[in-house]
Amino acid sequence: METEYAVTVPDGTTLLDTDTLPRIKDVTDEILKQAIICEVSKRPFRIIKSELEYYRKNDIDLPRRHPGQRHYDRMALRNPRKLFNRKCDKC
């Protein structure tokens, strides 16, 4: 279930498409002032300084999906909830 939201981007923020994202070794601190467009939901998101430091330390490329979309993807991997009919332990 996806909902359309009005997206506002602060003035002076440049938008990056996921096709133009550099490798983590080539990323400068300038990325902190830019917003990345999610490849699925098309919503912009930003990288914070501590997140960038983590990616650099562990040699992980920048994410291409909005944090909300990444959470939705993780929840889709979980097993579905299922209730079983059984007798009560006291019966």
Instruction: Please tell me which residue, 6 or 81, carries the higher pLDDT value.
Output: 81
Query: Would you place residue 19 in the very low, low, confident or very high pLDDT band (cuts 50, 70, 90)?
Result: confident
Q: Kindly provide the b/e burial profile for residues 53-76, where b requires at least 16 CB atoms within 10 angstroms of the residue's own CB.
A: eebeeeeeebbbbbeebeeeeeee
Q: Is the pLDDT of residue 9 over 80?
A: no
Q: What ranges do the domains of the chain cover?
A: 14-76
Query: Would you place residue 60 in the very low, low, confident or very high pLDDT band (cuts 50, 70, 90)?
Result: very high
Which pLDDT belongs to residue 5?
A: 61
pLDDT tens column, 25-53 = 999 999 999 999 999 988 999 999 999 99
